[in-house]
Amino acid sequence: MYVKQISVFLENKAGRLWELTEVLRDNGLNIRALSLADTTDFGILRMIVNDPEQAFQTLKETGFSSAETDVLVVEIPDRPGGLAEVLKIMTRDGINVEYMYAFVEKKKGNAAVVMRVEDLERTISVLTEGGVTILKAEEVYAM
Amino acid sequence: MKILDEKIECISSEGMRSLQLERLQRLVEYLTKNSQFYQGKLEETGVAAGDIRELSDLTRLPFTVKADLRDNYPFGMFAVPMREIAEIHASSGTTGNPTVVAYTKKDIELWSMVMARAISIAGGTPDDIVQNAYGYGLFTGGLGVHYGALELGASVVPISSGGTKRQLKLMHDFGSTIITCTPSYALFMAEEAREMGYDPRKSPLKVGILGAEPWSDNLRREIEAAWDMTALDIYGLSEIIGPGVAQECPYKNGLHIFSDVFLPEIIDPVTGRVAEEGESGELIITTLTKEAMPLLRYRTGDIVTISHGTCECGRTLPRISKILGRTDDMLIIRGINVFPSQIESVLLQVEGARPHYQLVVDRIRGLDTLEVQVEVGEELFSDEIKQLQGLKEKIRKEIESVLALVVDVKLVEPKTIARSMGKAKRVIDRRSA
């Protein structure tokens, strides 16, 4: 159920993000979704790629500080209120979201929301009970 | 201009040498009798008090280094019992033990005397108002200047460092004629003044006695133009006495070192060979007349040149150059001594790892700044912003408490810090020193 997200430490320096995307390109790695969190002097790039293991190794070898993090990707209907329903369930059970970002998956046209929470196990059971679809890792990588 | 202590400041070279020899002999006797530390050291070297027959015998005496002071923390270097001690100072923080220095009442008189000379050499008289913006407290700068101003008979405003607005207001309202502070602070104050709509050139200041950090002639010109005053260098270090070891006169031909009480040598820091006149080397000082904590051949780590011969001001005291460099990697930032190893051990404590780091020293709007760049390797990296921000804050607070200096911490990507021959370059100093 857990999806491996790749996070990379980036200094706020012109061209750094571009260099990273070139490394991914040269290694045939495709980005499914990404988000960039920034502070005044550094940022963290978080992304879902087609092959997280290879991406992690490649980035390591090319000198980037990166990490693999377990996240959940839930599928929600792409309509007003879709995300609110999911968050309602989570809030009711006191589950906090550390961060999240979303993309639209191509096949069904639904929204896919990547989220990082503290207790993955519990979140999965709460969401499953609430009827929310949690995407399998392989599905996400292949999207 | 009147010379305060003409008998000494204009003494003949023979007169000086015989005074120094007599005092050196007495010092070695004194240490043999009173200092446990030097009893051991002299025995090791195999030199007895009677062996000092001429001044050149000085080179037979052992060196003293900063580590000796740390190793004998807190009171192991004292040559008098505690009841004779009048004042104790300590360096602001190091990772190991601070450096403790102490004074008897007579040592304070010595300090007052050399500092009075220093202020007088800079042109100060009893008619002057000395605004003393060196920090008061364990740092020797504030009290040293204070004692000297009192001894000279000048009026002293013990304002201490910081509080720029108040500095400027009192300077204006009191009519301060001499400012004592670090050169970077003098420049910073001028900029603040202009920002407040006050022209620093119209200030009552005539002279700045500036020290506690190395500075260049360029910075002197800048400060002199900004304040329309004479900016003169003062040299000192707490191990020897504090401020008041050497002072520049308005002819700006080097700093007159008070060699009647602080016997200077310039040597090649590696071979120990005595440097020729005008040749640069490490300044070594023997305190000839101190009681509480006299030092034999103390290695200051400061690289200077020395020149003898009479100065245009009439003084015969030898003159040392401004500090040309250091024998170690010590940095002086806003008057505070900083060793890269101190920052390294903070990082080690905070992280348990040994991250790569680099210190970037700069002078922004006249004020020295220290930026500590820490490489975020895999072991430090966290996926969460708040973790990284927390790490940054923790490192900053730890370093600030160790150095007693405000720093900026910047997290950088791995391998961004230039490495030469596999060894990281630890310090980038962008000040025009």
- Partner residue facing B384 (CB), from A10, A66, A98: A98
Q: What is the Rg, in whole angstroms, of the alpha carbon atoms belonging to chain A?
A: 16
Q: What is the dihedral of CA B270, B271, B272, B278, to 10 degrees?
A: -80
pLDDT category at B292 given cuts 50, 70, 90 is very high
B1 assigned to some structural domain: no
Q: What is the Rg, in whole angstroms, of the alpha carbon atoms belonging to chain B?
A: 22
* Co-location of B196 and B279 in the same domain: yes
Kindly identify which residue of chain B lies nearest to residue A100, measuring between CA atoms. Answer: B384
Q: Which of B383, B410, B412, B415 to mutate: most A Cβ within 10 Å? A: B383
B388 in contact with A, Cβ within 8 Å:
yes
* Co-location of B246 and B350 in the same domain: no
Answer with the residue of higher pLDDT: B70 or B342: B70
Chain A residues in contact with B388 by the CB 8 A cut-off are 9, 39, 42, 44
pLDDT category at B422 given cuts 50, 70, 90 is very low
Among candidate residues B278, B304, B328, the one where a domain is terminated: B328
What is the average pLDDT across B318-344? Answer: 86
Q: Which of B431, B416, B421, B292 is nearest to B362 (CA)?
A: B431
High-pLDDT (> 90) share of chain B, % = 72
pLDDT at B352: 57
Residue B167 to residues B154, B170, B177, B243, B417, Cα–Cα distance (Å): 18, 5, 13, 21, 39
Length of chain A: 143
pLDDT at B432: 62
High-pLDDT (> 70) share of chain A, % = 99
Check CB contact under 8 Å for B411 and A10. no
Q: What sign has the CA pseudo-torsion A103, A106, A110, A112? A: negative
Q: Which of A10, A52, A8, A57 is nearest to A32 (CA)?
A: A52
What is the average pLDDT across A54-73? Answer: 93
Q: Determine contact, residues B355/B344, Cβ cutoff 8 Å.
A: no
Among candidate residues B298, B328, B358, the one where a domain is terminated: B328
Q: H-type helices in B153-234, by residue range? A: 164-170, 183-195, 217-227
pLDDT at B421: 47
**Residue A2 Cα, gap to closest chain B Cα (Å):** 16
pLDDT category at B245 given cuts 50, 70, 90 is very high
pLDDT at B364: 85
Helix (H) or strand (E) holding A9: strand A3-11
- Partner residue facing B376 (CB), from A5, A9, A98: A9
* Co-location of B375 and B407 in the same domain: yes
Q: Which of B74-78, B196-200, B212-216, B255-259 has the lowest mean pLDDT?
A: B212-216
B273 assigned to some structural domain: yes
Mean pLDDT of chain B: 92
B274 in contact with A, Cβ within 8 Å:
no
Taken in order of first residue, the domains within chain A and their CATH numbers are 3-68 (3.30.2130.10), 71-141 (3.30.2130.10)
Any idea what the CATH number is for the domain that residue B314 is in?
A: 3.40.50.12780
Contacts of residues B226-230 at CB distance under 8 Å and 24 or more positions apart, as own/partner, are B226/B186, B226/B187, B226/B190, B226/B191, B226/B200, B226/B201, B227/B179, B227/B186, B227/B190, B227/B200, B227/B201, B227/B203, B228/B200, B228/B201, B228/B202, B228/B203, B229/B179, B229/B203, B229/B205, B230/B122, B230/B123, B230/B206
Output phi, psi for B409, to 5 deg: -110, 135
Q: In whole angstroms, give the CA distance from residue B352 to residue B337.
A: 25
Q: In whole angstroms, give the CA distance from residue A32 to residue A7.
A: 13
**Residue A77 Cα, gap to closest chain B Cα (Å):** 28
Any idea what the CATH number is for the domain that residue B367 is in?
A: 3.30.300.30
* B94 pLDDT more than 60: no
The SS3 of residue B125 is coil
* B141 pLDDT more than 70: yes
Left, alpha or beta for B72 (phi > 0: left; psi -120 to 50: alpha)?
alpha
- Partner residue facing A69 (CB), from B383, B385, B416: B383
**Residue A108 Cα, gap to closest chain B Cα (Å):** 30
Q: How many inter-chain contacts (A to B, CB under 8 Å) are there?
A: 52
* Co-location of B153 and B95 in the same domain: yes
* Co-location of B153 and B226 in the same domain: yes
Q: Which two tokens stand for residue B138?
A: 């364990």
Chain B residues in contact with A5 by the CB 8 A cut-off are 383
pLDDT at B274: 93
* Co-location of B97 and B199 in the same domain: yes
Residue A48 to residues A109, A112, B273, Cα–Cα distance (Å): 18, 11, 66
B425 assigned to some structural domain: yes
* Co-location of B289 and B151 in the same domain: yes
* Co-location of B367 and B240 in the same domain: no
* Co-location of B323 and B343 in the same domain: no
Answer with the residue of higher pLDDT: B209 or B91: B209
Answer with the residue of higher pLDDT: B377 or A24: A24
B160 assigned to some structural domain: yes
* B433 pLDDT more than 60: no
**Residue B348 Cα, gap to closest chain A Cα (Å):** 19
Q: Convert the pLDDT of each residue in B44-71 to its tens digit.
A: 999 999 999 999 999 999 999 999 999 9
- Partner residue facing B411 (CB), from A41, A60, A64: A41
Domain that holds residue B12: 6-328
Among candidate residues B286, B306, B328, the one where a domain is terminated: B328
Chain A residues in contact with B383 by the CB 8 A cut-off are 5, 7, 44, 46, 67, 69, 116
* Co-location of B286 and B400 in the same domain: no
Answer with the residue of higher pLDDT: B159 or A104: B159
A99 in contact with B, Cβ within 8 Å:
yes
B75 assigned to some structural domain: yes
Q: Which of A36, A29, A67, A16 is nearest to B413 (CA)?
A: A16
* B28 pLDDT more than 60: yes
* Co-location of B337 and B321 in the same domain: no
* Co-location of B57 and B154 in the same domain: yes
* A134 pLDDT more than 50: yes
Chain B residues in contact with A98 by the CB 8 A cut-off are 384
Check CB contact under 8 Å for A63 and B384. no
pLDDT category at B92 given cuts 50, 70, 90 is low
* B418 pLDDT more than 80: no
Q: How many domains does chain B have?
A: 2
Name residues whose C-beta falls within 8 Å of residue B214's C-beta, 6 or more positions apart in sequence: B322, B323, B332, B433
Chain A residues in contact with B384 by the CB 8 A cut-off are 44, 98-99
Q: Convert the pLDDT of each residue in B161-188 to its tens digit.
A: 989 999 999 999 999 999 999 988 898 8
B245 assigned to some structural domain: yes
- Partner residue facing A9 (CB), from B381, B389, B410: B381
